[in-house]
Amino acid sequence: MLEKRSVSGSHSASCGFWWRRAGIKLIKLSLRSLILAVCVNERRPFPPPPCSQSSGGGSTLLGYIGIDTIIEQMRKKTMKTGFDFNIMVVGHSGLGKSTLVNTLFKSQVSRKSAGWARDEKIPKTVDIKSVSHVIEEGGVKMKLTIVDTPGFGDQINNDNCILLPWPHAPWFHWEPISKYINEQYEKFLKEEVNITRKKRIPDTRVHCCLYFISPTGHSLRQLDVEFMKRLSHSVNIIPVIAKSDTMTVEEKQEFKQRVRKELEMNGIEFYPQKEFDDDMEDKSDNDKIREAMPFAVVGSDKEYQVNGKRVLGRKTAWGIVEEPTNHRSLCALARLLPRSHLQDLKEVTHNIHYETYRARRLNENGGLHPICDTQDSNL
């Protein structure tokens, strides 16, 4: 069983383990196993290194212990409990928000698909509507909530309308969204400070906000800049260029570069944020993602038969355009969103955005006090 164990030099070299931050050094003793005595004794000074069967002040593991089975144990727990993931989509009507979400999750998960009439009137103010689904894949269950924001950006006709009255002023557009995001943090915080807590706090916090940029080919609108500037510190924003099939390859590249420049000029930090890269490996992976952003996407949630196979695509006068596998940007987004950064999006939301909200909230008005609420606890 010894074969299962290995000490990877790259792992210990590449990242900031908590014991390294605490000033504890890991000493490599053999290629197969390592162990280091670290004294945290309550009463005595640091003792000499442990007695050892191998020379060099450390000891070698004599057989397989099973520490790495923690992964399997965590897998079993996750399979049993499932997990929550909440995505918000923001952008004016007609940009294909619902279609893109359906494309990413290969099913009719969007609000519009969930029975909301496609011909509903565009609201005069920004509305927040959400719909949840439970999706299972490989035995893992995810409660996916799509938060839609109909009415966002729809009543603004002028990019420089910041001084115009309701409903033209941009803040009428981001304020209800910001309020919703903070309300979810507040809900979580209230559950967290309860004296009798739920074993598992329901997580309605927005883990990711897909911001849809119009494929104008020109530049970002003032509302785009203002929205992302204000909300990038309270939610993970992933900017996407919507309906990018309306642009030629050159136009798309040029527009992407312009948007990236404008985001940088305005100090807008989108996800994955540079400052939260854990280590060099993370940085290298995320740099590639950041370079490809904003993703220029085209959604397609209709199913067609092509050469006898079911495919997702868009049927145009020129034929069926197969989307998901061939569209690089969409693939990159699909990789990022469900396949590589789901857990990280949840962790950044919890460790950074929620913690920032919590600290601000506890600092004001003497903070929140624990509440004795025994009604629906499932401890």
Q: Give the Å distances, CA to CA, from 365 to 120, 178, 192.
A: 42, 21, 18
Q: Is there binding between residue 342 and a second copy (CB under 8 A)?
A: yes
Q: For residues 83 and 201, is the Cβ–Cβ distance under 8 A? A: no
Which element (helix H / strand E) includes 319? strand 319-322
Quote the CA–CA distance of 8 and 10 in Å, as a whole number. Answer: 5
Site for a second copy in 298-327 (CB under 8 A): 303, 310, 312, 324
Site for a second copy in 139-158 (CB under 8 A): 139-143, 145
Q: Is there binding between residue 116 and a second copy (CB under 8 A)?
A: yes
Least distance to a second copy, CB of residue 357, Å: 12
Q: Give residue 242's region: left, alpha or beta (phi > 0; psi -120 to 50).
A: beta
Least distance to a second copy, CB of residue 118, Å: 9
Least distance to a second copy, CB of residue 363, Å: 6
| Contacting residue, 182, 196, 219, 246, with a second copy by CB under 8 A | 196
Q: Is there binding between residue 99 and a second copy (CB under 8 A)?
A: no
Q: Which is nearer to a second copy, 64 or 171 (CB)?
A: 64
Quote the CA–CA distance of 35 and 57 in Å, as a whole number. Answer: 10
Least distance to a second copy, CB of residue 25, Å: 9
Q: For residues 197 and 378, is the Cβ–Cβ distance under 8 A? A: no
The structure tokens listed for 9 are: 């030099």
Interacting span for a second copy (CB under 8 A) from 73-81, 87-95, 158-166, 286-294: 73-81
**Positive or negative CA dihedral for 329, 333, 334, 336?**
positive
Quote the CA–CA distance of 269 and 360 in Å, as a whole number. Answer: 20
| Contacting residue, 71, 163, 249, 317, with a second copy by CB under 8 A | 71
Site for a second copy in 223-282 (CB under 8 A): 278-279
Q: Is there binding between residue 334 and a second copy (CB under 8 A)?
A: yes
